[in-house]
Amino acid sequence: MSTKADATAVILAAGKGTRMQSQLPKVLHPVCGKPMLHWAIEAAKEVCDEVVVVLGHEREKVLATLPSSIQHAVQDPPQGTGDAVRVASPLLQHQGVVLVLPGDAPLIQASTLQALLEGHKDALCSVLTAHITPQEATHSGYGRIVRDEHGKTLAIVEAVNASPQQKALTEINTGIYAFNSAWLFNEVLPHLKAHPPKNEYYLTDAIEEAAKKGRLQAIEHHDLTEVTGVNDRIALAELQAQARLQINRDWMAKGVRFEDPNCTYVDSEVTLEADVELGPGVVLRGKTSIGAGAKIGPYCVVEDCQIAANVIVASHSVLSGAILEEKSSVGPFSRLREGTHLEQESKIGNFVEIKKSRIGAGAKASHLSYLGDANVGERANIGAGTITCNYDGYAKHQTSIGTEAFIGSNTALVAPVHVGDKAIVAAGSVVTEEVPADAIALGRAGQKNLEKAAQRFHEKRSKEEGSN
């Protein structure tokens, strides 16, 4: 982006968002993992030094998500978009340009805002417009751009206030504007009048005032998706589908392979390197990063994980808050929870759950195990069915397993407990005491064989069956 304009952005985020039918404030509904409002803030920050967000409905919740560099004004109660800009007035210089944008249009690009600011020059108002189809015009809630027979913009009329002819107009107000700040705050906003049906003060009335002065510009934008305002969950889902495809296309351009980009979900904060391969149904959430050449198989869900180069995560694995070093492998059907750290070339197989544990380089837990609060040494082998009994009903305890230790199948390691380097634990053991390095621990009942007992049993049964 080129140098920032001498403009302050005001982002409107005080509305209730009634049409979302939600406890969550509308502007906090996420699009590809990031609240709508934050998309708008990030675009605005690229073109303006200062950004003011107007908060109202559930403002504490919204405020809690804002970075400290963002100023806010409070509109309580929300009385329309004109009133919302007015409450930001004490925070602004009333000189230069004020860029106004809604908090519910997350896909707006900084380049579009930049073009609006560059085109604004000495107009009193420049409004960004877009086109809907005649079919959409039958039900759309956007304000309509009213032009005279020469194409000159006269006003914006809100859908609820529009006549049938006006409602059929297909040029709409995106809700994104550049204003001459002094004019807006000193000459227009103090004089707005409330409109039925909700007695709201409309920012759109400023457009008519600028038109009367002959200093209004309507700048048409060709991409409706980019400027779409989300009012309900249907629009949110549609917009998110668009955002998702755009994210996937951007990663493909950088060398990521998507087996099916239509059903792969990559959050906006995820980072991927070249030659990452993503199977169908993969969901990557939060601040996940994946290194070059790593393969994530079908239907894996990965949240807030750091995955190094050439890692393999096989299908249907669920990973959260885990670190996977180079060439480690996981799955299919593995579950890695918060605080799991897999060192290089370690291998976690199917139906293994790991929590808050470090698995040493080259160590293996190939089948059906639970490792919690454990430290597993390099090249150790964890047999099928091994369980760290980390919880005694009151507190969690640690298990440590030495380098090249061998834990036989179906072992219960009752924590706190330590198994030394190169020690062997016999299958089926319940280990309650330390196993020294190089020792073999046999922690199970000795086997007793009753000679010929099975034979006697079968003979008895066949006799009984014969007599019946």
Query: Rounded to an integer, what is the distance from CA 462 to the centroid of its chain?
Result: 66
Q: Which is nearer to ligand UD1, 157 or 384 (CB)?
A: 157
Distance, CA of 360 to CA of 342 (rounded, Å): 7
Nearer to ligand UD1, 33 or 229 (CB): 229
CA distance 466 to 468: 6
* Shortest distance (Å) from residue 102 CB to ligand UD1: 4
Using the minimum distance from each CB to ligand UD1, give the nearer residue, 106 or 443: 106
Contacted by 403, from Ca ion, ligand UD1, none: CB < 5 to 8 Å by type = none
Q: Which residue's CB is nearer to ligand UD1, number 55 or number 314? A: 55
We find the least distance from the C-beta atom of residue 96 to ligand UD1, in angstroms, to be: 22
Q: For binding to Ca ion (CB under 5 A), which residues are involved?
A: 104, 229, 231
Q: Which does 261 bind (CB under 5 to 8 A by kind): Ca ion, ligand UD1, none?
A: none
The nearest distance, CB 152 to ligand UD1, in angstroms, is 19
The contacts of residue 163 (CB under 8 Å, 6+ apart) are none
Residue closest to ligand UD1, measured at CB: 143
Beta carbons of 396 and 372 less than 8 angstroms apart: yes
384 binds, among ligand UD1, Ca ion, none (CB under 5 to 8 A by kind): none
Name the site residues for ligand UD1 (rule: CB under 6 A). 12-15, 27, 54, 56, 75, 78-81, 83-84, 102-104, 141-143, 156, 158, 172-175, 202-204, 229, 231
131 is catalytic: no
- Least separation in angstroms between CB 200 and ligand UD1: 6
Out of 367, 397, 418, 458, the active site residue is: 367
CA angle (126 as vertex; 103, 48 as ends), nearest 5: 55
Supply the minimum distance, in Å, between the C-beta of residue 221 and Ca ion: 16
Short-list 323, 329, 381, 391, CA closest to 357: 323
Bridge partners of 218, per DSSP, are: 127
State which amino acid sits at residue 196: P
- Asked if 401 and 411 touch (Cβ cutoff 8 Å), the reply is no
For residue 89, the partner it binds in ligand UD1, Ca ion, none, with Cβ less than 5 to 8 A by kind, is none
The binder of 325, among Ca ion, ligand UD1, none, by C-beta within 5 to 8 A per type, is none
- Half-sphere exposure in the Cβ direction for 432 (13 Å, CA): 4
With a CB cutoff of 8 Å and minimum separation 6, the contacts of 42 are 110
Taking the least distance from each CB to Ca ion, the nearer of 203 and 319 is 203
In one letter, which amino acid is 271? T
User: Cα(460)–Cα(385) distance, rounded to whole angstroms?
Assistant: 36
- Residues acting as catalytic residues: 367
